[in-house]
Amino acid sequence: MGYTAIVDYGVGNLKSIANAMDYLGLPTQVTDDAGTLERADAIILPGVGAFPDAAERLRLSGLDKVVVTQAEKKPILGICLGMQLLFDMGEEVRDCKGLELVHGRVKRIETAHKLPHIGWNSLTFQNDAPIFRGLEDGAWVYFVHSYCGVAASEEDVIARTEYGVSVVAAVRSGNVYGCQFHPEKSGETGLQILKNFGELNR
- 92, 96, 145, 184: which one is catalytic? 184
- Residue 80 catalytic? yes
User: Cα(198)–Cα(25) distance, rounded to whole angstroms?
Assistant: 10
CB 124 within 8 A of CB 141: no
- 100, 145, 182, 199: which one is catalytic? 182
| Three-state secondary structure string covering 57-87 | HHHHHCHHHHHHHHCCCCCEEEECHHHHCCE
- 80, 96, 148, 179: which one is catalytic? 80
Amino acid identity, position 53: D
CB 44 within 8 A of CB 74: no
Catalytic residues, by residue number, are 80, 182, 184
